[in-house]
Amino acid sequence: MNEVTIIGLGPMGQAMAKTYLNNGYKVSLWNRTKSKADNLVKEGCFYDRSITEVIKRSQLILVSLTNYDVFWSILENLKTDLNGKVIVNLSSGTPQEAREVSQWIIQQGGSFLSAGIMVPPSLVGKDDPNSYTFYSGPKKLFEQYQADLAVLTTTDYKGEDVGLAMLYYQAMLNILYTSMTGVIQSYALLKAGKINAIDFEPYTHEFLKFLPTLIQQANIAAEIDTKNYDGSQQNLKMMLAGAKHVTETAKEANIDFSVPKSIEALFQNTVNDGFGGNSTASIFETLYANGD
C-alpha cells in the first residue's frame, strides 16, 4: 500500500490528505492543532501528536505550513534522523529558504524537494488544466516520486537547484497579488462614486479576458530580453500621465492611493532614467537597475 505523511493541516494540507486517502494511500498526519485532524481520522487517516513518531511512519513526507519559519520551529523538535526520508515542502518561502532547509535535511540523512502549488485547495486532486505544482531539487528523486506527487496536481519540474520552484512560485504570486490588488483598488474607486463592485464585475471579466492579447501585442517578454523598448504605439510619458490620473482620482475620492502612487513613481523614475519615449516594458530597466 502506498503511504504518505502530511505535516500541516491548513486548508491545503487537509485537501492533500483527503486526496491521498481517496486514492487509496495510508495517510499519517501531524498538525499543531489536533482538532483539524479529527474528521480525517474518522475517514481513515492516522494522527500522531509526536512529530518524531509521525515522520517514522512513511518514507514520503509532505509539508504544508504557512512558511519556512514554522517548518524550522517544527523541525527543532525532531528527535530522529531523517535517513531515507524524502521531504517535499509545499509551503511558501523564498528560494534561499528552500536551499537552507534542503542543506539541513541532507545533513540529517534525508533528501528534499521544494514545491510551489499553484491551485486553491478545492482544485487539489481534480483533473483541471489550471492545476499544477512547480517542483525543484534532485531530478532522480523527483522522477522516483513523480507518480505520488501527481496524485495532487500535474507536476512541473523546474530543475536541480532546489530554489527554482520557489522562484517560479513567487513570480506567479506576484502576478496574482498585483492584479488582484488592482481589481480591488478599482472597486474602491467605483464605490466612492456610488457604483457597486458587482455592477462593474462584467467589465473586469471582459478586460481580464482581453489582457493576454494586450500583453502579447506589447511584446513585453521579448522587449525585456532584447532591451528593445518600442514606444512607437504607446510611450511611457503617455502612460505616466494616465497613472497620475488614477492617483488623482483616488485622492479626489479620499481613498487610499498608495498602490497607484507607487506605480506612478515607478513610471516617473523610468522617465527620469531616460525612457519616456520607450514602451511601458522599459520600467524593467528601473526595476532591474541593481539586479545583477
Ligand X SMILES: NC(=O)c1ccc[n+]([C@@H]2O[C@H](COP(=O)([O-])OP(=O)(O)OC[C@H]3O[C@@H](n4cnc5c(N)ncnc54)[C@H](OP(=O)(O)O)[C@@H]3O)[C@@H](O)[C@H]2O)c1
37 near ligand X, rule: CB under 6 A? no
- Which of the residues 109 through 168 are near ligand X (CB under 6 A)? 117, 120-121
Contact 96, 163 (CB under 8 A): yes
- Spell out where the chain has E strands: 3-7, 26-30, 46-47, 60-63, 86-89, 111-117, 132-136, 154-159
Judged on CB neighbours under 10 Å (0-12, 13-18, 19+), 200 is middle
3-state secondary structure of 120: coil
Q: For residue 49, what are the contacts with CB-CB under 8 A and spacing of at least 6?
A: 30, 34
Q: Which of 22, 73, 107, 228 lies at the binding interface for ligand X (CB under 6 A)?
A: 73
Q: Pick the closer one to ligand X by CB: 95 or 260.
A: 95
Q: Pick the closer one to ligand X by CB: 176 or 289.
A: 176
Q: Which of 28, 91, 153, 279 lies at the binding interface for ligand X (CB under 6 A)?
A: 91
Dihedral over alpha carbons 68, 120, 135, 99 (to 10 degrees): -10
Total number of residues binding ligand X (CB under 6 A)?
21
84: left (phi over 0), alpha (psi -120 to 50) or beta: left
- Backbone phi, psi, residue 127, to 5°: -85, 90
Instruction: With contacts defined by CB under 6 A, name the span among 31-39, 48-56, 78-86, 177-185 that binds ligand X.
Output: 31-39
For the bound state, the minimum distance from the C-beta of residue 2 to ligand X, rounded and expressed in Å, comes to 22
For the bound state, the minimum distance from the C-beta of residue 270 to ligand X, rounded and expressed in Å, comes to 31
Q: Pick the closer one to ligand X by CB: 67 or 144.
A: 67
174 near ligand X, rule: CB under 6 A? no
Instruction: With contacts defined by CB under 6 A, name the span among 3-11, 39-47, 227-235, 282-290 that binds ligand X.
Output: 3-11
Instruction: With contacts defined by CB under 6 A, name the span among 27-35, 142-150, 191-199, 222-230 that binds ligand X.
Output: 27-35
